[in-house]
Structure 1
């Protein structure tokens, strides 16, 4: 039987490219998205290349939607081999400007969704004594950045959650975990992030405006540089995800570019892939 994979946020970007790549490499792919109407481009790829991809509805902010999707996979295949927690959304706005609704939304999409999807697959992976969970985080999960504090907090949470979970489920149940940490990705993610920085049509207001203008100008400058320096394509990151999935002993964390590696090096130099830290945690507590 083929290995299977559930991918969240598969309508665009890394999720879209990962669905195609895994299917081309003999995986049964369950490509999930909140709105199946956004799957038209993926359907075209499936038809053109005869890919073994099934589109399923899954809203990472709704636990019942997650459980329903997981049960569908189990009913079809009686197992789940790999979960790619890819769904997420950028957000750049000051804490003062963000509404209570926005603050909850950032955490729901970028952190709680990862936890609820992981919670849903763990019983099946634990019973089969194997499985892999790959979480798409960000350099923002290691290094806080201006005007991104709410987004970074959610990604920091995913990093801590993954690190803690890996300290006991890998050895006990054979479930491998990895955080894949891109820098910038030149996909719809970036467009969405920019759209969500506006407050009544303005990028910022009041005393924050001069600081935000410097921040936004820096982002634009980086965007104009070569992609090798900062921004990667969804396909480039998907290739790294696939390599992690084929690795029998995958790292706990992995930056996806030289720029990302350099950006985080003050925090990662002593233990670049997180392996030493997980061993220390396991030795200390177990």
Structure 2
């Protein structure tokens, strides 16, 4: 019986590419997205390559859709082998000017969604004594960056959440946890993260304005030029995710490019893949 995998956020970018290459590798893929009307590109690939991919509606901000998607998989297969938490959204705005609604949205999409998707699959993985949860985080989950305090805060939370689970759920129930940390990705995610701020007029005001203009100018320039040192394609990041999934001893955390390694070096050089710290914490408490 082939392994199955639930991939969150597959309409574009990393999630779309991951759904395709996992299916090509022989996995039964459950490709979820918030709005199934955006599945045209994936449907085209499924038909073209005869891929074993089933589409599911799942909005990480709506708990009932998470439960329904996981229950669908269990009813069909009786198990769930892998979860790839890939939903996320960039956001650049000062905490002073972000509304309460925006703060909630950034946190829900980037952190709470990961928590609830993970919560939904763990009981089944624990019962079957196997599973692998791979979460796409960011270098922003390790290094705080200008105007990204809300996004980075959510990604830092994701990193701590997964690291904590790995210390006791991992070894006790044979469930693996991995966090994938890309730098820039030249997909719709990046266009949204940089472009939305400008299009919606979300420039900072007052004393923050010159700083925001400098920040956006540099980000837009790098995005437009497709800086190969900073920006990877969705497929390149998806390939790292597949490599992690296929690894016999997967890392707790992994960067996806040399640029990302250098950018986070001061945080990661003592324990690049996160396994030493998890082992130490586990010994200390358990």
**Normalised-by-shorter TM-score class:** over 0.9
Aligned pairs for 1:48-59 (under 5 A) are: 48-59=48-59
Q: Residues of 1 paired with 2:192 and 2:205: CA distance?
A: 20
Corresponding residue for 1:249? 249
Corresponding residue for 1:207? 207
Q: Do structure 1's residue 150 and structure 2's residue 136 form an aligned pair?
A: no
Task: Judge conservation of contact 1:198–1:204 (CA < 8 Å) in 2.
Answer: no
Corresponding residue for 1:27? 27
1:202–1:176: structure 2 CA closer, same or farther, 3 Å change rule?
closer
User: CA-to-partner distance for each residue in 1:40-89, whole Å, 9 max, x for gaps?
Assistant: 11000000110000110001011111000000000000000000000000
Task: Judge conservation of contact 2:186–2:226 (CA < 8 Å) in 1.
Answer: no
When structure 1 is superposed on structure 2, of 225-234 and 56-65 the one drifting more is 225-234
Q: Do structure 1's residue 118 and structure 2's residue 114 form an aligned pair?
A: no
Q: Counterpart of 1:54 in 2: which secondary structure? A: strand
Corresponding residue for 2:102? 102
Q: Residues of 2 paired with 1:111 and 1:136: CA distance?
A: 11
Task: Judge conservation of contact 1:186–1:234 (CA < 8 Å) in 2.
Answer: yes
When structure 1 is superposed on structure 2, of 30-39 and 208-217 the one drifting more is 208-217
Per-residue deviation, 1:224: 4.8
Task: Judge conservation of contact 2:194–2:216 (CA < 8 Å) in 1.
Answer: no
Aligned pairs for 1:162-177 (under 5 A) are: 162-177=162-177
Q: Do structure 1's residue 131 and structure 2's residue 143 form an aligned pair?
A: no
Q: Residues of 2 paired with 1:193 and 1:48: CA distance?
A: 31
Q: Counterpart of 1:132 in 2: which secondary structure? A: strand
Per-residue deviation, 1:199: 8.3
User: CA-to-partner distance for each residue in 1:198-240, whole Å, 9 max, x for gaps?
Assistant: 4852522221110111111221333355543000000000000
Could you tell me which runs of 5 or more consecutive residues in structure 1 were left unpaired when the two chains were aligned: none
Aligned length: 286
Per-residue deviation, 1:192: 1.4
User: CA-to-partner distance for each residue in 1:109-152, whole Å, 9 max, x for gaps?
Assistant: 00000000000000000000000000000000000000000000
Task: Judge conservation of contact 1:9–1:34 (CA < 8 Å) in 2.
Answer: yes
Corresponding residue for 1:237? 237
Kindly report the root-mean-square deviation, in angstroms, between the aligned alpha carbons of the 2 structures. Answer: 1.2
TM-score, structure 1 normalization: 0.97
Q: Residues of 1 paired with 2:44 and 2:200: CA distance?
A: 37
Corresponding residue for 1:86? 86
Per-residue deviation, 1:270: 0.6
Could you tell me which runs of 5 or more consecutive residues in structure 2 were left unpaired when the two chains were aligned: none
Q: Residues of 1 paired with 2:117 and 2:224: CA distance?
A: 36
